[in-house]
A = this chain, B = another copy of it.
Amino acid sequence: MTDDMKKAAAFLKERDNFEILTHDYPDGDTLGSGYSLCLVLQQMGKNARVITTSVPKDFDFLKKGIVEQSFEAQTVVSVDVADEKLLGANREKYAGRIDLCIDHHLINRVEAPLKLVEGTAAANCAILFKLYKLMGVEITREIANCLYTGISTDTGCFRYTNTTSEIMRICADIIDIGCDTAYINKVMFETKSRKKIALEREVYDTIEYCFGDRCAIIAVTLDIQKKLGVGDGELEGLASIPRQIEGVEIGITMREKEPDEFKVSVRTNGSVNAAELCARLGGGGHSAAAGCSVNGSLEEAKEKLKAVVSEVL
């Protein structure tokens, strides 16, 4: 147990009337963190609520057991928020007001008097599991469901390289509590909407192989998005398609955001640095996953991308 964790545990025990902030476009880890912490605090007889910009319907089950309480907020905790900018519509109200920041991002820019940041943790929910154990609260099935959702989504259901033996042991303990992994895995990893299926079919037609098949590019134009009526929900996860193709080292996904304006996601396998590639077009990111924006018609934007790919290959 780190000192920061002991301080965070003491702080949560001491204070009351909590507001728990998630990041914008919330995912399984920030929502699992938020709702599990809310359940823990309510179990301790305190007032707490989660403040988020939205909850995608697939995550509604995380709220199970939460009691809506009416109270005047006194304590603000952020979970899985690396920067106040990421609070979205809640930024204006809460910026500079965070009392405790719990996060697992390598670079955390939140300014708060108390911070529990473990940059090597695969999921924020993994930090919280240890915190709850330290606090001695009962990890109920509902809390276990929240924690499993956060950990499984942030590790790609144990496929990503952040899946350590510690993560496996935490999940073993969570499973022993009786969390509903069957339901969560089904909803998170084994369900596609009809629109998503239609979109994948359409996107498969756009695959272009280049540089001796070492690079694959897919494009989701505004035309496709309008024709199928797809939004962010369906478009998420597409970037993994070109990277998955056997032999492909650079997988590029182009999404037309506005006419002649493309948001580009680059995923690489091993040898090529995606962040370096995207930096050449004013973007950035990690070595295996990065992004940038490129303007022009589809063909013009592709040519710009191919030009930088030819530089790095």
* Chain A residues with a Cβ under 8 A of chain B: 157-161, 163-166, 168-169, 171-173, 175-176, 181-182, 185-186, 189-194, 197-198, 200-201, 204-205, 207, 209, 213, 240, 243-247, 269
Contacting residues, chain B, for A175 (C-beta < 8 A): 163-165, 168
> Looking at the complex, which one of B159, B173, B189, B247 makes contact with A190 (CB distance below 8 Å)?
B159
Cβ contacts A to B, 14 pairs, < 8 Å: A161-B181, A165-B171, A165-B173, A165-B175, A168-B168, A168-B175, A172-B172, A190-B244, A191-B246, A192-B246, A194-B246, A197-B204, A201-B205, A204-B204
Q: Which residue of chain B lies nearest to A241 when distances are taken between CB atoms in the complex?
A: B197
Q: Whole-angstrom distance between the alpha carbons of A162 and B157 in the complex?
A: 14
Q: Whole-angstrom distance between the alpha carbons of A205 and B202 in the complex?
A: 10
Whether A159 pairs with B245 at a CB distance below 8 angstroms is no
Q: Whole-angstrom distance between the alpha carbons of A209 and B163 in the complex?
A: 38
> Looking at the complex, which one of B176, B185, B200 makes contact with A204 (CB distance below 8 Å)?
B200
Contacting residues, chain B, for A161 (C-beta < 8 A): 181-182
Q: Whole-angstrom distance between the alpha carbons of A228 and B11 in the complex?
A: 62
Contacting residues, chain B, for A168 (C-beta < 8 A): 168-169, 171-172, 175
Q: Which residue of chain B lies nearest to A207 when distances are taken between CB atoms in the complex?
A: B197
Whether B158 pairs with A165 at a CB distance below 8 angstroms is no
Whether A159 pairs with B194 at a CB distance below 8 angstroms is no
Given contacts A168-B169, A173-B165, A181-B161, contact A244 B205 (CB under 8 A): no
Contacting residues, chain B, for A163 (C-beta < 8 A): 175, 181
> Looking at the complex, which one of B182, B197, B244 makes contact with A191 (CB distance below 8 Å)?
B244
8 interchain residue pairs of minimum CB distance: A168-B172, A201-B204, A165-B172, A165-B175, A158-B158, A159-B185, A193-B246, A161-B182
Q: Whole-angstrom distance between the alpha carbons of A204 and B176 in the complex?
A: 39
**Shortest beta-carbon distance from A141 to chain B in Å:** 14
**Shortest beta-carbon distance from A279 to chain B in Å:** 24
Q: Whole-angstrom distance between the alpha carbons of A193 and B240 in the complex?
A: 14
Whether A186 pairs with B269 at a CB distance below 8 angstroms is yes
Q: Which residue of chain B lies nearest to A173 when distances are taken between CB atoms in the complex?
A: B165
Whether A245 pairs with B172 at a CB distance below 8 angstroms is no
> Looking at the complex, which one of B159, B193, B243 makes contact with A157 (CB distance below 8 Å)?
B159
Q: Whole-angstrom distance between the alpha carbons of A181 and B182 in the complex?
A: 23
**Shortest beta-carbon distance from A205 to chain B in Å:** 7
Q: Whole-angstrom distance between the alpha carbons of A175 and B162 in the complex?
A: 12
Q: Whole-angstrom distance between the alpha carbons of A42 and B65 in the complex?
A: 55
